[in-house]
Amino acid sequence: MLLGLSILGSASGQPGRAPFKAMNPATGLELDPPFHSASPEEVDQAVRRARAAAPLFAACDGARRAALLRAIARELELDAAELVPRVMAETALPEGRVRGELDRTCFQLRLFATVADEGSWVDARLDTPDPARHPLPRPDLRSMLRPLGPVAVFGASNFPLAFSVAGGDTASALAGGCPVVVKAHPLHPGSSERVGRAISRAVAETGLPQDVFSLLFDAGHQVGAALVQHPGIRAVGFTGSFRGGQALLGLASARSTPIPVYAEMGSGNPVVMLEHALSSRPEAIAQTLAASITQGVGQFCTCPGLILAVEGSGLQRFRDALAAALATVAPAPMLGEGLARAYRDGIERLKADPSVHGHLSSPSSGSLGAPAFLETNGAQLILHPELAEEIFGPGTLLVACRDDRELEACLQSLPGQLTATLWMEPGDLGLATRLLPHLQELAGRVLFNGAPTGVEVGHAMVHGGPWPATSAPHATSVGTLAIRRWARPVCFQNVPEALLPPELHHANPLGLWRQVDGAFGKH
Amino acid sequence: MLLGLSILGSASGQPGRAPFKAMNPATGLELDPPFHSASPEEVDQAVRRARAAAPLFAACDGARRAALLRAIARELELDAAELVPRVMAETALPEGRVRGELDRTCFQLRLFATVADEGSWVDARLDTPDPARHPLPRPDLRSMLRPLGPVAVFGASNFPLAFSVAGGDTASALAGGCPVVVKAHPLHPGSSERVGRAISRAVAETGLPQDVFSLLFDAGHQVGAALVQHPGIRAVGFTGSFRGGQALLGLASARSTPIPVYAEMGSGNPVVMLEHALSSRPEAIAQTLAASITQGVGQFCTCPGLILAVEGSGLQRFRDALAAALATVAPAPMLGEGLARAYRDGIERLKADPSVHGHLSSPSSGSLGAPAFLETNGAQLILHPELAEEIFGPGTLLVACRDDRELEACLQSLPGQLTATLWMEPGDLGLATRLLPHLQELAGRVLFNGAPTGVEVGHAMVHGGPWPATSAPHATSVGTLAIRRWARPVCFQNVPEALLPPELHHANPLGLWRQVDGAFGKH
- One-letter amino acid identity for A209? P
Packing angle of the helix pair A189-205, A62-78 (nearest 10 deg): 130
Distance CA A48, CA B487 (A): 35
Of B59, B462, B489, the CB nearest to A489: B462
Chain B residues whose beta carbon lies within 8 Å of the beta carbon of residue A440: 146, 490
Q: Has A264 been annotated as catalytic?
A: yes
Nearest CA distance, B419 vs chain A (angstrom): 9
Chain A residues whose beta carbon lies within 8 Å of the beta carbon of residue B518: 114-115, 118, 458-459, 480
Distance CA B77, CA B29 (A): 28
Three-state SS sequence of A199-218: HHHHHHHCCCCHHHEEEECC
Q: Measured between alpha carbons, how far is residue A387 from residues A240, A376, A379, A438 in Å?
A: 20, 9, 12, 19
Q: Measured between alpha carbons, how far is residue B208 from residues B71, B145, B165, B267, B314 in Å?
A: 12, 21, 18, 38, 60
- Which secondary structure element, helix H or strand E, spans residue A187, and what is its range? none
Beta strands in B168-218, from DSSP E residues, in sequence order: 180-183, 213-216
Under DSSP, the state recorded for A489 is E
Distance CA A412, CA B392 (A): 45
Q: Measured between alpha carbons, how far is residue B172 from residues A238, A479, B176, B188, B381 in Å?
A: 31, 27, 6, 22, 38
Under DSSP, the state recorded for B294 is H
Find the closest chain B residue to A444 by CA distance: B490
Active-site residue (options: A106, A301, A401, A410): A301
- The answer to whether A237 touches A173, Cβ cutoff 8 Å, is yes
Distance CA B167, CA A321 (A): 57
In chain A, positions 384-443, which contact chain B (CB-CB < 8 Å)? 415-416, 432-433, 436-437, 440-441, 443
Distance CA A84, CA A94 (A): 10
> Do A491 and B515 lie within an 8 Å CB cutoff?
no
pLDDT of A264 reads: 96
Average model confidence (pLDDT) across chain A:
96
Side by side, the strands of the sheet bearing A235-239 are A11-12, A7-8, A213-216, A180-183, A151-154, A235-239, A261-264
A12 touches chain B (CB under 8 A): no
Reported as a single tens digit per residue, the pLDDT across A227-279 is: 999 999 999 999 999 999 999 999 999 999 999 999 999 899 999 999 999 99
Chain B residues whose beta carbon lies within 8 Å of the beta carbon of residue A446: 490-493, 495
Distance CA A21, CA A188 (A): 9
Burial A356-372 (b: 16+ CB within 10 A, else e): beebbbeebeebbbbbb
Of A55, A260, A447, the CB nearest to B493: A447
Distance CA A214, CA B458 (A): 40
Angle B431-B437-B442 from CA coordinates, rounded to 5°: 115
What does residue A251 show for φ and ψ, rounded to 5 degrees?
-65, -40
B470 touches chain A (CB under 8 A): no
Q: How many CA atoms lie within 13 A of A516 on its CB side?
A: 13
Of B141, B257, B466, the CB nearest to A458: B141
- Which secondary structure element, helix H or strand E, spans residue A54, and what is its range? helix A40-59
pLDDT of A363 reads: 78
Reported as a single tens digit per residue, the pLDDT across A310-341 is: 999 999 999 999 999 999 999 999 999 999 99
Reported as a single tens digit per residue, the pLDDT across A92-149 is: 999 999 999 999 999 999 999 999 999 999 999 999 999 999 888 999 999 999 999 9
> Do B491 and A415 lie within an 8 Å CB cutoff?
no
Q: How many CA atoms lie within 13 A of B65 on its CB side?
A: 32
What does residue A300 show for φ and ψ, rounded to 5 degrees?
-125, 145
Q: Measured between alpha carbons, how far is residue B333 from residues B110, B276, B291, B340, B367 in Å?
A: 32, 37, 16, 8, 5
- Coil/strand/helix, residue B372: strand
Under DSSP, the state recorded for B136 is S
pLDDT of B256 reads: 94
Distance CA B143, CA B493 (A): 9
> Do B489 and A481 lie within an 8 Å CB cutoff?
yes
User: How many other C-beta atoms can be found within 10 angstroms of the C-beta atom of residue A129?
Assistant: 15
pLDDT of B381 reads: 97
B365 touches chain A (CB under 8 A): no
pLDDT of A438 reads: 95
Mean pLDDT, chain B cut into blocks of 10 residues (523 residues total): 97 95 96 98 98 96 97 98 98 96 98 98 98 92 98 96 98 98 98 98 98 97 98 97 96 96 96 98 98 95 97 97 97 93 95 92 87 97 93 96 98 97 97 96 98 96 97 97 98 97 98 97 94
Distance CA B520, CA A216 (A): 39
- Coil/strand/helix, residue A420: strand
Q: Is the confidence metric ipTM above 0.95 for this complex? A: yes
Burial of A114 (0-12, 13-18, 19+ CB in 10 A): middle
Q: What is the pTM (predicted TM-score) of this model?
A: 0.97
Chain A residues whose beta carbon lies within 8 Å of the beta carbon of residue B133: none
Distance CA A286, CA A371 (A): 14
Residue ranges in A366-428 assigned as alpha helix (H):
378-383, 404-413
- Coil/strand/helix, residue B491: strand
Residue ranges in A119-215 assigned as alpha helix (H):
168-175, 189-205
Average pLDDT over residues A294-298: 95
> Do B460 and A143 lie within an 8 Å CB cutoff?
yes
> Do B488 and A466 lie within an 8 Å CB cutoff?
yes
Burial A36-67 (b: 16+ CB within 10 A, else e): bbbbeebbbbbbbbbbebbeebbebbbebbbb
Reported as a single tens digit per residue, the pLDDT across B223-267 is: 999 999 999 999 999 999 999 999 999 999 999 999 999 999 989
